[in-house]
Structure 1
Amino acid sequence: MSDAGPARLPAAARRAGIIEAADVEFAATGLAGTRLEAIAARAGISHPRIVQMFGSKQKLFLEVVHAAYDRIEAAFADAEPTLPALGVAYVRLLQKDPTVGLVVLQGYAAAADEPVREAVRRRHLDLMATIGRLTGADALRVRTFFATGLVQTVSTALDLPDRRADTGWSAWLLDLADPARET
């Protein structure tokens, strides 16, 4: 056996490990509250290595935000192209990977920072366009779907005991936005 220490990870694996560690830390404490030292400790690397790889905490935060939106888009791409099916896919994603919703919420919370606001706005609008493209839903139904998703995100993040973030409630909300609905 060699006493040379642990094997060096390839750069891509090291980068993925940092993003995974940052995902957990940013989900918990946001852009302003997260220390790069905490991410470095979780990833098992040095703080200067993170700065070397990402440049700044803000840039790393944006990488994590983009990765969260990528996971949402992947869940939608794998679902049947209907709003109810996308809603189910999103709820399943939140249940399987709770940091996704928290990171999205942290992205909104950090929107006072101009580069963060621009990046989150772009991803938000792109996701809305993707939902419309996948489902054929009009702008009102997409906005209602997004609003419902935000309620589901908050309900899941807060682990509300009597939350109404089930798919039946979502379908009811989407039905309210249907202009063809009889009153």
Structure 2
Amino acid sequence: MSATRVPEAVLFDRDGTLVVDVPYNGDPARVELMPSARVAVAAVRSLGIPVGVVSNQSGVARGILTRRQVEAVQRRVEALLGPFAVWAVCPHGPDDGCGCRKPAPGLVLAACERLGVQAARCVVIGDIGSDVAAAHAAGARGVLVPNAMTRPEETAAADETAADLLGAVWLVLSSPGGPR
């Protein structure tokens, strides 16, 4: 990314980043925003930058969730945060060998394609190493927002980290050409 331009899109991981991670959540009533999620997403939108979500949802492959339940949770997230320009969701399990499941680049590339932006001009913000790895594999910038579920080695390996979601957004908007 050029050091003089803001990103053309910001993609957020869902669970543990935008909303509290409730494993295999198919119940919209259990959706709870992460601290500062509303302000963080609004800050990006205020600059006219499209926002999207990239999310692994292996509960579908495991038979724990239906696609309808995943979509119901998406609708709840949008009710709380406003509409996202794109949702890229991987319904596959960890051993399915797909190219979309993070840390593979497929979700990031698909979201960028739907938004009409180059991955190199996109930022992915997530809470675990596979979010950042997917960003890097796609040629995008990745920012890690560690939480209690983030492994210490994931934090140590990340080029860029922020203490919280709003901090990640400010980092992205104030240093658009940061390391990748």
Same fold (TM over 0.5): no
Q: Which has the higher contact order (CA 8 A, sep 6+)?
A: 2
Report the TM-score, using the length of structure 1 for normalisation.
0.29
Higher strand share: 2
Higher helix share: 1
* Larger Rg belongs to: 1
